[in-house]
Structure 1
Amino acid sequence: MNPEYKIIIIIAGYIFLITTSGFIIKFILSRAEKGKIADKKDWDTGFIIGKCENILILTFMLLDAYIALAIIFAAKTIIREEDIKKNSLYFLAGTMINVTYSIIIGALIKGLISL
């Protein structure tokens, strides 16, 4: 594949992942928990952290740095330990959904650029 096409696919993948991940998480969490899952402050904080997480996960996927994925997940869990105790569904399920979605998109992008 032409290197320019690979760059376009990678950039499009980042844009797609960043713009769709929040919607996917809200959609799944709202189905799992009827009603309000988290307050606005938690949603806003989770949104920012989630976007950073998306970028890091996709970057590490593209670099084949899979151990770094585990480090990100562990670090986030340790840092947000108090939040997890308050609302485990939102924080743990949100993290799992975001990580899984990011890995799936990363695998799809890797598959496309290896054609």
Structure 2
Amino acid sequence: MIDFWTFVLRALILAAAYALAIGLSGYMVRYFVLPPGVKSSWPPMDGREMPAGGWPRFDPSVVIGKCENIITLTFVLTGNYAGLALIFAAKSLVRTEAIKQNPGFFLGGTLVNLVWGLAVGLGARGLLMLT
């Protein structure tokens, strides 16, 4: 049986892992994928016309990236590494046109997210094994 403080410590490790993976992934993607000095902004300020219904509340790429983080971290923490292929399959189905237009950005962002999620997840698994 697990004692109370061990349970609390494990819960804190899991909460910190999700906060770290989700909170810092955007910085990691911008650092490794965007050219130096380029700032991303939402809504886009690159001269695109506003859609009839207005811009979405959040940048769809950011939302997709955060979902990738949650899925990646969950798969790593549960030891379901084969499930990580789901991320690439879903991304290539949903964002086919965007990937064709800018493969470095979309595939690079996905790979950075995957590596970041793996690093955080494996670190959290290691800490959980010590408790």
Unpaired runs of at least 5, structure 1: none
Q: Which one of 9, 16, 39 corresponds to residue 12 of structure 1?
A: 16
Runs (5+) with no aligned partner, structure 2: 45-57
Query: In 2 relative to 1, CA 47–93 (structure 1 residues): closer, same or farther, beyond 3 Å?
Result: same
TM-score, length basis structure 1: 0.86
Equivalent residue pairs, number: 113
Distance 2:17 2:114 in 1: 15
TM-score when normalising by structure 2: 0.76
Moved over 6 A (4+): none
Tell me which residue corresponds to 1:61. Answer: 76
- Seq. identity, %: 36
| Structure with the bigger percentage of helix | 1
Structure 2 partner of 1:49: 64
Q: CA deviation at 1:78?
A: 2.1
- After superposition, the CA RMSD in angstroms is 2.2
Larger radius of gyration: 2
